[in-house]
Structure 1
Amino acid sequence: MIKKLLLLSVVALGCQTTSLKAQDFNQYFTENTLRINCIFGGNANEQHIFVDNMNSIPGWYGRKTRLGEFPVEGNAQFEMRDHKTGKVIYRNSLSTLFQEWQTYDEARTSNKSFENVILMPMPKDSAEVTIKLKNNRRETVASITETIAPKDVLISKKGSHPTPYDVIHKAADTSNCINIAFLAEGYTETEMEKYINDVKIATDAIFAHEPFLEYKDRFNVIAVKSVSEESGTSVPSKGIWKNTALGSNFDTFHSERYLTTLNLKKVHDWLAGTPYEHIIILVNTDVYGGGGILNYYNLSSTGHKSFKPVIVHEFGHSFAGLADEYAYDWEEIPMFPLDVEPWEANITTLADFKGKWESLIKKGTPIPTPETKDEKKAKNKVGYFEGAGYRTKGVYRGVQDCRMRTNACKEFCIVCKNALTKLIKFYTGE
């Protein structure tokens, strides 16, 4: 990440189970999306959640099975309960730029607010939605509960005239797949052909990696043609401000290479009515920059020579919440308290290691595990390699090198592959 911030066979019995779960979805939900526009705000010591407004959007493109489970824990969570019974009928999680900003010095002396968007299936009847923010000790620090009345006239409708898009890769079963939507940022009308080509390059780069290659048919990929008035992106430190579709810019949090957009409602307005759940934003610039945030977005510049490895690395963050596995002596960031186990699947403080990759480690493997210059041994050896999550000491990764550690590594390590495979199966009801 450029800047810190994360088989059962298809037999009759399996099909019958999936059908029962689908019936559970149909019991509580319509084939529409409830979009809740929120404001997360505060400072380093206090956090607040406000509901801005709500939208109803045609089509639901998230999962229809395992609805009451979190795919991953995340730094923010939301759940929906049936109003009559109190039963949890949907759960999901995400991480946010607001929670990252809280770690900066600016948050100690000032308050700020950030747009956030939450997507849930539209309930048939009244329901309660609870939104929670968590700190790096995995403790809830803010919470709000809102009652949703599906027939409320103030839930505005969006997406009746979707932005034009091209289908880049069609899933084998579009009714049960993982929907990825690319968005163009800083591409003018005359640059749409270039944008589509960049989307194809990015898609091929992701599917060149396991386990995405093995499960390629479970993904549906589209390229949404969000046209900008001007080409490129804004660079505030140079006095450059561009009129672009998503209002992206470098210098986020006064960090020169940090390229983001804070305009989450714009992002989702462009996507309304298209088949999407996971978002990848391509920015038309040759300057290195971007980032990936769990169930928020993956944003990358397309003109830099590292475009392909970066887009894959950032997808590891935005799709699965995988943590960065690198650390630098010159920038120690205490993002992960050493007495708390990170929820991220690919790093550990050994505070509560159970359920991660302990089954892959040979008995007697030392802690920390020494690194080796032998590439073959390095690739196959699983252990406790110290230096991950922006800390050189006390945080461990499973393998010496990985796509989540360096751009030079050409694949995800076995620990990350297992986490990604588990999540793909989760989303597709296996």
Structure 2
Amino acid sequence: MRASSPSEDFTTAFADSTLRVDLIMSGGGGTEAAISLQGLKKWDGWAGRRHFLNKLPAPGNGTIEVIDPLSADTLYRNSFSTLFQEWLSTDEATDTQRAFENTLLLPLPQREAEIRVTLYDARHSQMASGAFRYNPGDPLLPTVRAPHYEPTYIHRSGNPDQAIDILFIPEGYTAAEADKFMEDARRISSEILSYEPYRTYRDRFNISAVMIPSAESGVSLPHKGVWRDSAFGAHFYTFGIKKYLSSPNMRRLHDAIDALPYEHIVLLANTDEYGGAGIYNNYLMTAAGNELSLPVSVHEFGHSFGALADEYFYPGKETDQYPLDVEPWEANITTNHGASPKWEGPQYEGGGYRVKGIFRPSETCRMRDNDYPEFCPVCSSAIEKIILFYTAPPAE
């Protein structure tokens, strides 16, 4: 559990409330990437951390900051990655402009503040930035009075401000399939907590599920010409990759879960197709009905929560997502371009979708193989550091 009392810095700068920030990230087709504010909302209760306020759990591909406009001090920071940045590396982005929704949560500032959002490219250079002013007296700032749905706790360790809060959300489950969703949520959450280091720190997690019905059962399969009327429009074949399961409707998703205590989102897709996705500090989505749903869910949670990279690679299907002359920010792959070795011990060539030039810390790991039953020591240590970052009180 987290420290039992909030830090002095938190109570000075922030209320025990949440500020929801809806963003549009756009670009491609030869235009510069841009970040626009779509809207703000607030509600009572803040489920996130109240310490290490101006530090990051991991570097990520983007940051959001709360800045004091008078002192220019950074009051709060968090990191994330986006589907938009992945799309920018596709062939479509060379001649097409597109816009993507993103939603981020902040503690509610007590006073006027600047919200600054920055995106970084694969070379860790700034590629886009947006700054927006938060005015607590704005009469147009909506307040969410109560949640739209009632959550059911699957695993509870403490109050939302004392634990890491994970929310399971259904996609493509009709009202008649509510029991099936809850069974899937219990099964997958239990699997995640069975892996180290989650098992050791299971008393630092709250896991809840909320039933949000879809009009039709299942999710869309564009490569098969199948389209479903699901709650959040999830579909396979993202960026032309058959197994890549994603949702473009982030604002609709967060509208449904407003005022619930959550920090990390797990979307369960009601399908037996193989696939999933994990986007750091954004969401995890997994095909709950597939026979590999358990190992895939653990793997994708390694991305969305643990900030880990893929360690697999396929000869003849390589990508240049990671420049070979730049050290990746993820803890479990290296190009050996950092100031010092990223881990002690052996290196195995191949990782990050490249056969040569990128190295991983273990011959195999849950971040490489679906049939491997654990995380390697480097990945396990990286996840543990993030758990402790969110839950350990600052040193006196």
Query: TM class, shorter-chain normalised?
Result: over 0.9
- How is 1:141-290 mapped onto 2 (pairs within 5 angstroms)? 141-158=127-144, 160-172=146-158, 174-290=160-276
CA distance in 1, matches of 2:325, 2:288: 39
Deviations 1:79-121 (A, max 9, x none): 1112232211100011111000111100001110000111101
Residue ranges of structure 1 left out of the alignment (5+ in a row): 1-9, 362-382
For the Cα contact (< 8 Å) 1:185–1:283, is it kept in 2?
yes
Residue 28 of structure 2 corresponds to which residue in structure 1?
A: 43
- Residue 250 of structure 1 deviates from its aligned partner by 1.6
SS in 1 for 2:7: helix
Residue 22 of structure 1 corresponds to which residue in structure 2?
A: 7
For the Cα contact (< 8 Å) 2:47–2:160, is it kept in 1?
no
Alignment pair present for 1:34 and 2:19: yes
SS in 2 for 1:203: helix
CA distance in 2, matches of 1:195, 1:342: 37
Deviations 1:318-371 (A, max 9, x none): 00210000111121111111111100011100000636313xx2xxxxxxxxxx
CA distance in 2, matches of 1:37, 1:159: 18
Which residue of 50, 56, 64 maps to 2:50? 64
- Residue 269 of structure 1 deviates from its aligned partner by 1.2
Identity of aligned residues (%): 42
> Is 159-168 or 333-342 further displaced after alignment?
159-168
Residue 116 of structure 1 corresponds to which residue in structure 2?
A: 102
Residue 304 of structure 1 corresponds to which residue in structure 2?
A: 290
RMSD, aligned CA: 1.6
Whichever residue aligns with residue 180 of structure 2, its letter is K
- Residue 173 of structure 1 deviates from its aligned partner by 5.1
For the Cα contact (< 8 Å) 2:286–2:297, is it kept in 1?
yes
Task: Give the alignment's TM-score, normalised by structure 1.
Answer: 0.88
For the Cα contact (< 8 Å) 1:132–1:142, is it kept in 2?
yes
CA distance in 2, matches of 1:168, 1:68: 31
Residue 102 of structure 1 corresponds to which residue in structure 2?
A: 88
Residue 392 of structure 2 corresponds to which residue in structure 1?
A: 429
Residue 394 of structure 1 corresponds to which residue in structure 2?
A: 357
Task: Give the alignment's TM-score, normalised by structure 2.
Answer: 0.96
Residue 87 of structure 1 corresponds to which residue in structure 2?
A: 73
For the Cα contact (< 8 Å) 2:233–2:249, is it kept in 1?
yes
For the Cα contact (< 8 Å) 2:234–2:248, is it kept in 1?
yes
Which residue of 317, 328, 334 maps to 2:320? 334
- How is 1:115-134 mapped onto 2 (pairs within 5 angstroms)? 115-134=101-120
SS in 2 for 1:320: coil
For the Cα contact (< 8 Å) 1:70–1:91, is it kept in 2?
yes
In structure 2, the CA distance between the partners of 1:386 and 1:159, relative to structure 1 (3 Å rule), is farther
Residue 3 of structure 1 corresponds to which residue in structure 2?
A: none
SS in 1 for 2:355: strand
For the Cα contact (< 8 Å) 1:44–1:103, is it kept in 2?
no
Whichever residue aligns with residue 137 of structure 2, its letter is K
CA distance in 1, matches of 2:380, 2:239: 32
- Residue 26 of structure 1 deviates from its aligned partner by 0.7
- Residue 256 of structure 1 deviates from its aligned partner by 2.6
CA distance in 2, matches of 1:335, 1:161: 39
CA distance in 2, matches of 1:257, 1:398: 26
Deviations 1:61-91 (A, max 9, x none): 1111100001111111111112232211100
Residue 367 of structure 1 corresponds to which residue in structure 2?
A: none
CA distance in 2, matches of 1:427, 1:202: 22
Alignment pair present for 1:356 and 2:319: no
Deviations 1:360-398 (A, max 9, x none): x2xxxxxxxxxxxxxxxxxxxxx1100000001010111
Deviations 1:35-54 (A, max 9, x none): 11110000165211111111
Which residue of 400, 415, 420 maps to 2:383? 420
For the Cα contact (< 8 Å) 1:159–1:274, is it kept in 2?
no
CA distance in 2, matches of 1:307, 1:353: 38
Whichever residue aligns with residue 277 of structure 2, its letter is G
- Residue 136 of structure 1 deviates from its aligned partner by 0.1
- How is 1:377-388 mapped onto 2 (pairs within 5 angstroms)? 383-388=346-351
Larger Rg: 1
Whichever residue aligns with residue 283 of structure 1, its letter is A
Question: Runs in 1 of length 4+ with deviation above 6 angstroms?
Answer: none
Deviations 1:16-35 (A, max 9, x none): xx75x622111111111111
For the Cα contact (< 8 Å) 1:159–1:272, is it kept in 2?
no
For the Cα contact (< 8 Å) 2:160–2:261, is it kept in 1?
no
Counting matched residue pairs gives 392
CA distance in 2, matches of 1:62, 1:259: 27
SS in 2 for 1:206: helix
- Residue 310 of structure 1 deviates from its aligned partner by 0.3
SS in 1 for 2:124: coil
CA distance in 2, matches of 1:388, 1:60: 37
In structure 2, the CA distance between the partners of 1:197 and 1:74, relative to structure 1 (3 Å rule), is same
Deviations 1:271-327 (A, max 9, x none): 111110100000000001110000110000011110000000000000021000011
CA distance in 1, matches of 2:223, 2:145: 36
Residue ranges of structure 2 left out of the alignment (5+ in a row): none
